[in-house]
Amino acid sequence: MKLNKLQITNLMMLTGVAAGLTACTTPQKSAQTKRSASFAEARNNPGAHTGAKVVWGGQITSVMKNSNNGSQMLVSEVPLFRLGHEPVYDGKSQGSFIVKTPGALDPNTFQPGEIITLTGKFIGQTNQMGNDWEATINALPIVAVQTQDVRFWQLRARPDLSDGPYYMDDYPFDTREEDIPYGWEHFYVPKTVNQHVPDSAGGTPAAASGTVTGQ
């Protein structure tokens, strides 16, 4: 079939418009589907991962700012078995990071030493957090998090059955770390905590409003 000049011209114009639309929509789709970043990736190349979703584990070191206008925690990173799963007991930390929340934190829940996992957004890094910090903190990753996206974990232990049978029930023992017998397996399980909503005036925890558990 032969095409006249007008048909050929129209075909070329339509092809050009389609190509232009593809070029315009591809970057937007890429930006919307930005993949998650590991702790090491965010720390080593913060500019390339700003805005990325993160799923990290850690141990609360301190709550350095706590107010209705926003709170900040210093957290020591703890590796996870798999993305979004339980922390690794005695795993080697790769460093620390800052967690920012939009409101006040319940001091009875967010205590130093608590093991947590969180889902949030990597928003950059900081060179110094301010005069209220115990020491100057250089180039720490910062994560913006909603408190409902923080999960708590507790340590448990059981006999190491690889050494032979034990004449006792095989179930997790909920106990303090210093009371766990030598040679037992350590692992983390979800921990249920009751969170309180700070009042609108001074940030004092008020009535209980919900539960946060490990995932």
Q: Would 36 be classed as within a structural domain? A: no
Q: Would 123 be classed as within a structural domain? A: yes
Q: Would 144 be classed as within a structural domain? A: yes
**Long-range contacts, stretch 130-135, CB < 8 angstroms, 24+ apart:** 132/64, 132/65, 133/64, 133/74, 134/62
What DSSP string runs through 177-203? GGGSPTT-EEEEEE--EEEEEEPTTT-
Q: Would 203 be classed as within a structural domain? A: no
For residue 142, the cross-strand partners are: 98, 124
Q: Would 71 be classed as within a structural domain? A: yes
pLDDT, the chain, mean: 75
Q: Would 63 be classed as within a structural domain? A: yes
pLDDT at 103 over 80: yes
Mean pLDDT value of segment 187-198:
80
Range scoring the smallest mean pLDDT among 114-118, 129-133, 181-185: 129-133
Q: Would 28 be classed as within a structural domain? A: no
Give residues with Cβ within 8 angstroms of 37, minimum separation 6: 49, 52, 53, 54, 122
Q: What is the CATH number of the domain that holds 100?
A: 2.40.50
Per the model's pLDDT, the better-predicted residue between 70 and 35 turns out to be 70
pLDDT at 124 over 70: yes
Q: Is 86 exposed, middle or buried (0-12, 13-18, 19+ CB in 10 A)?
A: buried
Mean pLDDT value of segment 50-54:
95
pLDDT of residue 34: 60
Split into its structural domains, the chain has a count of: 1
Q: Residue 81 is part of which domain span? A: 43-152
Q: What is the share, in percent, of the chain residues with pLDDT greater than 70?
A: 59
pLDDT of residue 176: 60
Q: Encoding tokens for residue 37?
A: 């970043």
Q: Would 81 be classed as within a structural domain? A: yes
